[in-house]
Chain A
Amino acid sequence: MRSDMKDITKRMRADIVEMLAAAGSGHPGGSLSACDIIAVLYFDKMNIDPKNVEDPDRDRFVLAKGHAAPALYAALAEKGFFAREDLKTLRKSYSHLQGHPNMNTTPGVEMSTGSLGQGLSVANGMALAGRLDNRDYYVYCLMGDGEIEEGQVWEAAMSASHYGLDHVIAFVDHNHLQIDGNNDQVMTVNPIDEKFRAFGWDVLTIDGHDLDAISDAIDAAKATKGKPTVIIAETVKGKGVSFMENQVGWHGVAPTAEQAKQAVAEILG
């Protein structure tokens, strides 16, 4: 893993907070909890090149939990898919950075998402295409823990297993919170690992903020043959900003300029 990974995640977190403050709306909590996973994918693991976006052999990433778009945009800007200044235009009518990812407006976005529960099916479709074409790319799909309450996730879980899609590697960003409260208060999603195991998946559970653990889990997932792997990432909603951590109220509220300043100081501090 590159030596500046930690710095990259710090920059991404600062970008997330600042772009949300500039937008005046959006989803900080789930963007910050997913940040480290996305960072490892884009800067350590995925075979992607901003200069060759149509490369048929590139790895794909589907942000099923589309509301974490700021984390994806921070990674794409850092990677060079578009100018860093664009981040400030998030959610504006003239911006290519839509509130939820749009593959037709934003370079590097592989799939338009936003309506929860559809991303894993899309990832499966990408993997089936790769198999048909004898390509070796991997398809990564990041879901929320509230998102997996959607029935379609389990349709897709069944399909990935049925078709033995070992090039699908899914993450569940398990930050334990969704809009209306704790996961299991709203709807009992746990135990997540046993559910996926019962659907025929290989299951790994890791600390979703430990960069080495994320990297190792992806390596292990790639070594798994004949079935898909889900990495359940234990995360903290709002990770990195003290007043946002584990606070359900920060699911879908943007920080003020003052709050953003404090948050960025903490992150970079």
Chain B
Amino acid sequence: MNSATREAFGEALAELGEINPDIVSLDADLSCTTKSATFAKKFPDRFFNMGIAEADLMATAAGLATCNKIPFASTFSVFATCRALDQIRNSICYPHLNVKVVGTHAGPSCGEDGGSHQAVEDIAIMRTLPNMVVVVPADDVEAKKAVYSAAQYIGPMYLRFARLASPTVHDESYEFDLFHGEVMREGSDVAIIACGMMVPRALEAAERLAAEGINARVVNMHTIKPIDEELVLDCARTCGKIVTIEEATIIGGLGSAVCEVVSEQCPVPVKRIGMPDIFGKSGAGAELLDEFGLNADHIIEAVKSF
């Protein structure tokens, strides 16, 4: 409980390795920190360290997938989705191969390593690739279940995990439904649609808003592509206004996906919270989230500014 989603990834992958012998893991010299090393220790023959070579990592995973293996190819999200983008596009998504691209240390909560290492554009980039499914789990419980779901789903998937530990907002009985978002709190004055570690912050904002008589619905939109259109539309119809929050650039990610749905099918005002077209920087992860306005205060401010 309350551990980083990358820790949950490592545990889930190692568990899945027992259940399904076709699961293989590849990493690019970051297995100790992406936590694929947990799998590697248990199944050394099914783990392939590709060295610091992300292009090779992704295309090798593609080759394994053509032979019915289920590869999880992990590295920092910034390297996975930017450096190896062409390989993900042409060798994984275009041929619709069953590779799970795992990006850890996403967003400014990655912290001290600074802007070079904090993926802000990964959700947007992965979302534009045909055939790609994009999943951003909210906490360790959901992350683990999302990894199990990824192993079941056949096709390319991008899983985004965080370095920083964050509060657990699900109990173990939670059932992860890949293609349906989760309403975590009911309300009809405004809908707050969040993903990743912004979900606990959205819940905190809703709690504080309730004390002021504003009833906010909180949605955990763990799967950003394909987005749960019905749920987004229900938020628009029921609440009339929407705030989105993601630990990523506001261009092309969750906020954009929500806007695409409502603008065409049920136009309502939307305020997007995220990185406002800027890169991150060094600092303690939790402090950076506050500095960039990725917190409950900013959500409350946005809600009140409609």
A interface residues (Cβ-Cβ under 8 A, vs B): 56, 60, 62, 102-104, 110-115, 117-119, 121-130, 132-133, 151-152, 155-156, 158-159, 162-163
Contacts and interface: CB of A to CB of B under 8 A. Distances in A.
B45 interface: yes
B16 interface: no
Nearest to A163: B48
A125 B51 contact: no
Nearest to B28: A155
B300 interface: no
A41 B56 CA distance: 25
Nearest to A119: B59
Listed residue (B64, B67, B94) with the most chain A CB atoms within 10 angstroms of its CB: B67
Contact of B60 (A110, A114, A115, A159): A159
B95 to A, nearest CB: 4
Nearest to B84: A152
A232 B59 CA distance: 23
Contact of A118 (B45, B67, B69, B91): B91
Contacts of A112: 90-91, 94-95
Contact of A128 (B55, B64, B87, B91): B64
Contacts of A126: 63-64, 66-67
B271 interface: no
Contacts, number: 110
A156 B24 CA distance: 18
Residues of A contacting B: mostly: helix
Interface of B: 24, 45-46, 48, 50-51, 53, 55-56, 58-69, 71, 86-87, 89-91, 94-96
A237 B65 CA distance: 34
Please list the 10 inter-chain residue pairs (A to B) with the smallest Cβ-Cβ separation, ordered nearest first.
A125-B63, A121-B59, A129-B67, A155-B56, A155-B53, A122-B63, A112-B95, A125-B60, A115-B90, A125-B64
B95 A111 contact: yes
A187 B87 CA distance: 23
A129 B51 contact: no
A159 B50 contact: yes
B51 A159 contact: yes
Given A121-B60, A132-B24, A132-B46, A158 B66 contact: no
